[in-house]
Structure 1
Amino acid sequence: MAIRNIAIGNTQEVYHPGALKAALAEFISTFIFVFAGQGSGMAYGKLSEDGKSTPAGLISAAIAHAFALFVAVSVGANISGGHVNPAVTFGAFIGGNITLFRGILYWIAQLLGSTLACVLLRFCTGGLATGTFGLTGISAAQALVLEIVMTFGLVYTVYATAIDPKKGSLGTIAPIAIGFIVGANILVGGAFDGASMNPAVSFGPALVSWSWTHQWVYWVGPLIGGAIAAIVYDVFFITNSHEQLPTTESY
């Protein structure tokens, strides 16, 4: 069962060159993803008055995020696993596929990558505000459930295409499958709560703009959704031949 696979690891991982390289890869991948995703929204808003609130703006956001995540996952996959998302990292931890200490390194790197992307976007665009996440026509409870469901779909896709040891050749399409589910979910939830599915994606803009309204929704929802997906997939679909955590020497 998933919970029994959880591993804490040890403090040596924090300083091991392999773990630090993986964290750097997460930082760069998250930076690439947020810079492209946020930047496309800012550019669309500049080119069209109130453009981000239109159907065309929603489609543009979905396509940009799908493409950017495909690339971000691809470039980090062979180094860190290409999580690019604290909820994915948390789901991997719940399933016993990453230790707590390595996961914390990933979280720090992901949050820093998102923040730097937003800072540079603000500078490069002459001070344009980054797009913070907010609720439109729904309550915080409804947004919480929406984030749980969307992130469940995302992390379930990650498990099926990237983590499952039986994935075989399916692993080659993991980045595009992950990008596609995020793009599709943006089309579902973008008009209601921005469709974050990723605490790092909502954290960077919130920090740079210092706007924290309903920020907890974009943490609690994705983490719960990621954990549920990990438990469901691990319990029902991963066999006893589940891959073990790498030893300290392999980091």
Structure 2
Amino acid sequence: MTLQEELRSRQFWRAIAAEVLGTLVFVSAVLGSSMPGPEGNDGGPLYPALAAGMVAVGLGHCFGEISGAQVNPAVTLAFLATRRLEALRALVYVAAQCLGATLGTGILYLALPQKSTAESFANKVPMEVNAGQALGMEMLATFQLVFTIFSVEDQRRREGAEPGNLAIGFSLSAGIFTAGRLSGGSMNPARTLGPAIITGVWEYHWVYWIGPVLGAILAGVSHEFFFAPSASRQKLVACLTCKDIEMVETASVSRSSLSTVTQTAMRAKQAHKSEHT
């Protein structure tokens, strides 16, 4: 599809609107659950982890067929790196996600009775942890999340009926439980950018872009070119040389299917020969 056809497509703008609204809902749910209680008690990563996992499942059902319900620039860039998404759509998705995150944070900020509590919105590197350690935790948490997303998407392409939203929700919650107390467990640059714009807290902001993006791209590349059923050296070369990956993938699947059929026929022939003997 050409650039003009993409911009004139109703489906394209529906997908953009879905990413804006989906990220708005996701960020507002996570930030709302992370606010301290009436006595200033901090619930730790428990409430944000549960809220993020549950809202991810809901958004998958709402917008999965429209835009993929990515609501995360790191996920979008991982799809771009593995050529599962075109450059134009990926860049517009990232802009829409950042806009949705900023709007969600702003709406929640306006609803706060005490504006000082908005400081809990921002992702911060704890005093006992340095930036390098926080970066590593963000990479690790995002890696397991995005690897799960790619696995679910691959199973959807092969089987069609498998929703997989629960697996993604559980993986998101697990990432926040793992990295929540060490880096905040963001795994989503938009979730960090929105609060930074509203509250003005930009300390170590680069950690929450570089960590999730690197972790997501590593997860996407490792799944697509090493662990997926259609993974092959030819597929990796096709990606690096900007060739058509789908043709290589189809050929790989066809060879795999042919091999399975051949093995089944040989087993049947051997069984028939044994019975005859």
TM over 0.5: yes
| Cα deviation digits, residues 18-47 of structure 1 (max 9, x gap) | 2111011011111111111101112xx132
Q: How does 1:157-236 map to 2 (within 5 A)?
A: 157-164=148-155, 166-168=157-159, 171-172=162-163, 174-236=164-226
Partner of 2:264: none
Partner of 1:72: 59
Larger mean CA deviation between 229-238 and 121-130 belongs to 121-130
Q: TM-score, normalised by structure 1?
A: 0.85
CA distance in structure 2 between the aligned counterparts of 1:150 and 1:9, rounded to whole angstroms:
36
Partner of 1:97: 84
CA distance in structure 2 between the aligned counterparts of 1:37 and 1:163, rounded to whole angstroms:
27
CA RMSD, 1 decimal:
2.2
**Runs of 5+ unmatched residues, structure 1:** 1-7, 245-251
Q: How does 1:121-140 map to 2 (within 5 A)?
A: 121-126=108-113, 127=115, 128-129=117-118, 131-136=121-126, 137-140=128-131
CA distance in structure 2 between the aligned counterparts of 1:11 and 1:138, rounded to whole angstroms:
48
Q: Structure 1 counterpart of 2:177, which letter? A: L
Partner of 1:20: 13
Question: Percent identity among equivalent residues?
Answer: 30
Q: Give the structure, 1 or 2, with the largest relative contact order (CA under 8 Å, sep 6 or more).
A: 1
1:187–1:48: structure 2 CA closer, same or farther, 3 Å change rule? farther
3-state DSSP class of the match of 1:129? helix
- Give the one of 20, 29, 32 matched to 1:36: 29
1:166–1:58: structure 2 CA closer, same or farther, 3 Å change rule? same
**Contact 1:31–1:113 under 8 Å retained in 2:** yes
**Contact 1:66–1:183 under 8 Å retained in 2:** yes
Query: May I ask how many residue pairs the two structures share in their alignment?
Result: 230
3-state DSSP class of the match of 1:206? helix
1:205–1:233: structure 2 CA closer, same or farther, 3 Å change rule? same
**Contact 1:14–1:102 under 8 Å retained in 2:** no
**Contact 1:114–1:200 under 8 Å retained in 2:** yes
1:60–1:168: structure 2 CA closer, same or farther, 3 Å change rule? same
| Cα deviation digits, residues 152-193 of structure 1 (max 9, x gap) | 111100100124565526731x22111111111111110011
**Runs of 5+ unmatched residues, structure 2:** 236-244, 248-277
Q: TM-score, normalised by structure 2?
A: 0.77
For the pair shown, which has the larger CA radius of gyration, 1 or 2? 2
CA distance in structure 1 between the aligned counterparts of 2:4 and 2:215, rounded to whole angstroms:
28
CA distance in structure 2 between the aligned counterparts of 1:9 and 1:15, rounded to whole angstroms:
10
